[in-house]
Amino acid sequence: MMQDNDRQAFPTLVEKFGHKLVSRTSAMGPCPICDKGHRTANSKLSISPTGRLLFICFACWAKLPELIEAGFLGRGETKIRFNPPTKAERELAEALAESHLQQGAERRRRLWDSAYAIPPDSPAWRYWAGRDIDPNLLIASGARTRLDVWHGESRQNLPATIFQVQGCERDLCQLHTIYHTIQGGRPEVTPRKRMSGPVKGGGSALVNTPDSDVLSVSEGVENGFSVRMMDPTVGKVIATLAAPNMASFKINFAAQIKTVRIYGDIGEAGERAATMLGQRCEDAGYSTKIFLPPKGVGDWNDMLLKGHG
């Protein structure tokens, strides 16, 4: 009797998540945490070889505890003893997940290869200039643009600035995209920025200063360029792109780096991520300092726009 219930539990969970079964013990579908549009099959719900419930999102790397915390799964649901998969089912699930990853990487490689350096007076140029950020910094960073980057959620092409994300656990041509309007403004779409591919541990290099012993880390690229505009001594600048990724940012810095400055975002998630990275940098022997925007200022770009505060 109990076993019959267990056998029923998995398909029920799969349905609840909007996933699709790819084997008796594995399902792919949209991630309830990061894929609010519920379009991409970027997460996998499966049963481990020992019958434990597993969840992994290949976009935001959320796992079971994050799902429980976000309220998508009750604690009881993870305690059900599922029938473990056979070896063949396990191999099929792994092959599907890998093929999904490779297809995404191919798609991103085509986008990156077809993009080009930001031309003067293009939408991307106007976007950065409009945020008081010198577009030449963007060009020097290696960022690229296109006038027509597909925005699936709003079913349209939009101009965008595209950054490579490097230093991730695997090289799958991970990208960070910021959409613009033709006039160089912020489009009324959700999301306005996106990370594509498994970006855990990685970041986008914004400013490269081979000789400086200072490394500055920000969460967003706009903030990273903004601190460089306000202070040319910030050295090498890297954006980790999101709070969880700042917390887990891989400490693998060039040999000459001695000082790490962390430019955090205001708010619980941002400040906690900055503290966590700061602690890890300090433990690794770097002289570390955390900076937060002064009270009354939203973020580092607001401070730049207001004239250095």
Compare residues 104 and 184 and give the one whose CB is closer to Zn ion: 104
Compare residues 32 and 264 and give the one whose CB is closer to Zn ion: 32
**304 lies in the binding site for Zn ion (CB under 5 A):** no
Q: Which residue type, as a one-letter code, is found at position 96?
A: L
Compare residues 13 and 33 and give the one whose CB is closer to Zn ion: 33
Compare residues 22 and 139 and give the one whose CB is closer to Zn ion: 22
In angstroms, what is the minimal distance from the CB of 98 to Zn ion? 18
In angstroms, what is the minimal distance from the CB of 173 to Zn ion? 18
- Assess contact for 69 and 95: CB atoms under 8 A: no
Count of beta carbons in the 10 Å neighbourhood of residue 199: 26
- Assess contact for 260 and 234: CB atoms under 8 A: no
Compare residues 31 and 93 and give the one whose CB is closer to Zn ion: 31
In angstroms, what is the minimal distance from the CB of 214 to Zn ion? 33
Alpha-carbon span 292 to 256, nearest angstrom: 25
Find the binding residues for Zn ion in span 22-81 (CB under 5 A).
Answer: 31, 33-34, 57, 59-60, 62
Alpha-carbon span 262 to 273, nearest angstrom: 10
Give 53's strand partners. Answer: 47
Q: Which of 105, 145, 107 is nearest to 128 (CA)?
A: 145
Compare residues 31 and 111 and give the one whose CB is closer to Zn ion: 31
Per residue, the 3-state secondary structure of 245-262, as one string, reads HHHCCCCCCCCCCCEEEE
In angstroms, what is the minimal distance from the CB of 7 to Zn ion? 27
Alpha-carbon span 28 to 20, nearest angstrom: 5
Strand pairing category for 156-164 and 175-179: antiparallel
In angstroms, what is the minimal distance from the CB of 108 to Zn ion? 17
Q: How many residues bind Zn ion (CB under 5 A)?
A: 7
In angstroms, what is the minimal distance from the CB of 225 to Zn ion? 27
In angstroms, what is the minimal distance from the CB of 202 to Zn ion? 16
Alpha-carbon span 77 to 61, nearest angstrom: 20
Strand pairing category for 26-29 and 175-179: unpaired
Compare residues 38 and 109 and give the one whose CB is closer to Zn ion: 38
Q: Which of 187, 255, 260 is nearest to 218 (CA)?
A: 260
Task: Name the site residues for Zn ion (rule: CB under 5 A).
Answer: 31, 33-34, 57, 59-60, 62
